[in-house]
Structures are given as structure tokens and as C-alpha cells.
């Protein structure tokens, strides 16, 4: 148990559906992240939130919409996805986000949501 | 931009054998973090290295950061099936305001019983 909970663990959706992924952390952290992990590809950072403010969006298509209502919760809203969006979506949190912060930069990950887009 | 290259990409070893995974950076590392991932699950933090020449151990896993802080190695002694998974290195890079946290390409380890 890492202190980061993701739901659902598995999701199958059609290309016209709208769904949301949820992430909750019980660690008192201030930074939260969404990652995409596809087969045989490096981990891709999608979004970063620091103190509830979005600080990074790594050229993610607009069909992915993040939301961070507070420091403990992070959502990823999905709509009109494509089959190539099928992947493992991972949420993570860290105490802070910044240079030379040592242990405060350690990221704690949820178990992920396995998404299949039909 | 900084990249982290891991080698080998995949590794199959017999139980009881020792192995080493490398993580090489194109720039100086400001904190190097090792994670392990079981298939289809999240990453679990293993160890953090910050100082050149630093070495840390946890159970049968030892990680080192070279003096120049551009390469790290992860060594597993007497491997067991429980060591199987994907090992990733992560590091911070950039300056204040442009900080990035990047991950390596990953090394997939299989241990044969």
C-alpha cells in the first residue's frame, strides 16, 4: 500500500464514451501527476499539479482533461478517445516538486488504471 | 533535453545469479531514484542517491552513483523470482522554474526458478 489509490483498476470504453479516472492520496503531498504507460514505451508524463495548480501539460490531446479540486484528489476526464489511447494510466504524488529536494521528490504511485478503448 | 538510458533493456537470469542494471544520463544528475514495477501495477520506490560516489543497499539490492553523477548501477545479489519486474531509474533535471523529473527506458527482469 503506497498511500495512493486509483479507481477504477480496469476500464473498457467505446470511442464515444465519457469516463473519468480518479486518484486519491493520503500522504499529505502537494504535487500530483498523471502518467501514461504504453507497451514497450517509456513512461510518459502527462500532467503535473503543484498545490492544486497545473504546472505542466506535456502536449497532451484535449480529449484528456485533468482536474485537481484539492491537493488530495486528481481526476482525468476522458472523452472521444482513440484505440491508441489504450494504456496503463498511473497517478503519482510527491511531497514537493522542485530541484534538489531530495527525498521530497520521491514519487509514490498508485496501482494504475488499465484502459482499453474499443 | 536530458535523457536517461537504461541497459540492458531486458534480462533473463537463473535464480541465484547476480545481475547489474545501468542507468546513464546525458547530463549531471540531481538526485537519482530507483523504482521497481510489477507487470500492470504502479512503481514502488526502492532507493535514492544524491552524492557522487554514494552507495546504498536494501536487502539484496545495492545501488551506486558514480563520482561524476552521470551514471548509476543497480546490483542484485543472488537473484530470486521475487526480484522479477521492471526496474526504472528516475532523476530530476533542469533549473529552478524549468524543473523536470524524467524516467529511464526501463529494464525488464525475469528470474527463472
- pLDDT for A96 equals 84
Chain A residue with Cα closest to B42 = A111
B96 vs A: CB within 8 A:
yes
- pLDDT for A87 equals 95
- Give A42's contacts in chain B (Cβ within 8 Å): 103-106
- pLDDT for A1 equals 72
- H or E segment to which residue B57 belongs: strand B55-58
- pLDDT for A97 equals 83
Among B48, B18, B20, smallest CA distance to B33 is for B48
Q: What's the pLDDT band for B96 if we cut at 50, 70, 90? A: low
Q: What percent of chain B has pLDDT over 70?
A: 93
pLDDT at residue B97 greater than cutoff 70: no
- Cβ-based neighbours of B68, under 8 Å, separated by 6 or more: B28, B52
- H or E segment to which residue A30 belongs: none
Report CB contact under 8 Å: B44, A90. no
pLDDT at residue B95 greater than cutoff 70: no
pLDDT at residue B1 greater than cutoff 80: no
Q: What are phi and psi of B36, to 5 degrees?
A: -125, 140
CA angle B109, B110, B111 (to 5 degrees): 120
- Cβ-based neighbours of A62, under 8 Å, separated by 6 or more: none
- pLDDT for B28 equals 80
Tell me the mean pLDDT in the region B44-53: 92
Report CB contact under 8 Å: B43, A97. no
Q: What's the pLDDT band for B94 if we cut at 50, 70, 90? A: low
Chain B residue with Cα closest to A103 = B48
CB-nearest to B99 from A88, A99, A106 is: A99
Q: What percent of chain B has pLDDT over 90?
A: 65
B105 vs A: CB within 8 A:
yes
pLDDT, tens digit only, all 118 positions of chain A: 779 999 999 999 998 889 999 999 999 999 999 999 998 788 899 999 999 999 888 889 999 999 999 999 999 999 999 999 999 999 999 998 876 778 888 999 999 999 999 9
> How many Å is the maximal CA-CA distance in chain A?
43
Report CB contact under 8 Å: B42, A4. yes
- pLDDT for B43 equals 93
Amino acid at each position: 500500500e503506497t498511500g495512493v489509490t486509483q479507481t477504477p483498476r480496469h476500464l473498457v470504453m467505446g470511442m464515444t464514451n465519457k469516463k473519468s479516472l480518479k486518484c486519491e492520496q493520503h500522504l499529505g503531498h502537494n504535487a500530483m501527476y498523471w502518467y501514461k504507460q504504453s507497451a514497450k514505451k517509456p513512461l510518459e508524463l502527462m500532467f503535473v499539479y503543484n498545490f492544486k495548480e497545473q504546472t505542466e501539460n506535456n502536449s497532451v490531446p484535449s480529449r484528456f482533461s485533468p482536474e485537481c479540486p484539492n491537493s488530495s484528489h486528481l481526476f482525468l476526464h476522458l472523452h472521444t478517445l482513440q484505440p491508441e489511447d489504450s494504456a496503463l494510466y498511473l497517478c503519482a504524488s510527491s511531497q514537493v516538486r522542485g530541484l534538489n529536494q531530495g527525498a521530497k521528490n520521491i514519487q509514490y504511485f498508485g496501482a494504475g488504471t488499465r484502459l482499453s478503448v474499443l | 533535453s536530458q535523457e536517461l538510458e537504461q541497459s540492458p533493456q531486458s534480462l533473463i537470469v537463473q535464480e541465484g545469479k547476480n545481475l547489474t542494471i545501468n542507468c546513464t544520463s546525458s547530463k549531471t544528475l540531481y538526485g537519482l531514484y530507483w523504482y521497481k514495477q510489477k507487470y500492470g501495477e504502479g512503481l514502488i520506490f526502492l532507493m535514492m542517491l544524491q552524492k557522487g560516489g554514494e552507495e546504498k543497499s536494501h536487502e539484496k539490492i545495492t545501488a551506486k552513483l558514480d563520482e561524476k553523477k552521470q551514471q548509476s548501477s543497480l546490483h542484485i545479489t543472488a537473484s530470486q523470482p521475487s526480484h522479477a519486474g521492471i526496474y526504472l531509474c528516475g532523476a530530476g533535471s533542469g533549473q529552478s522554474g524549468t524543473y523536470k523529473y524524467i524516467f529511464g527506458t526501463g529494464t525488464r527482469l525475469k528470474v527463472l526458478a
